[in-house]
Amino acid sequence: MEATEPQHGSTSIVGLDAGVTKLATLSDGTVYPPVSSFKVNQRKLARLQRKLSRKIQFSANWQKQKRKIQRLHSHIANIRKDYLHKVTSEISKNHAMIVIEDLKVSNMSKSAKGTTERPGRNVKAKSGLNRSILEQGWYEMRRQLEYKQLWRGGQVLAIPPAYTSQKCACCGHTAKENRPSQSQFECLECGYTANADINGARNILAAGHAVLACGGRVQSDRPSKQEPAEVIQTSV
Q: Which residues are catalytic?
A: 17, 101, 197
Residue 26 in contact with residue 88, Cβ under 8 Å?
A: no
* Residue 58 DSSP one-character state: T
Helix, strand, or coil (residue 134)? helix
Closest CA to 9 of 83, 67, 96: 96
Torsion of CA 153, 197, 128, 116, to 10 degrees: 90
Contacts of residue 106, defined as CB under 8 A and 6 or more positions apart, other chains included, come to 139
Residue 175 in contact with residue 182, Cβ under 8 Å?
A: no
Give per-residue burial for 187-223: e unless 16+ CB within 10 Å, then b. Answer: beeeebebebbbbbbbbbbbbbeebbeeeeeeeeeeb
Residue 38 in contact with residue 135, Cβ under 8 Å?
A: yes
CA distance 127 to 123: 6
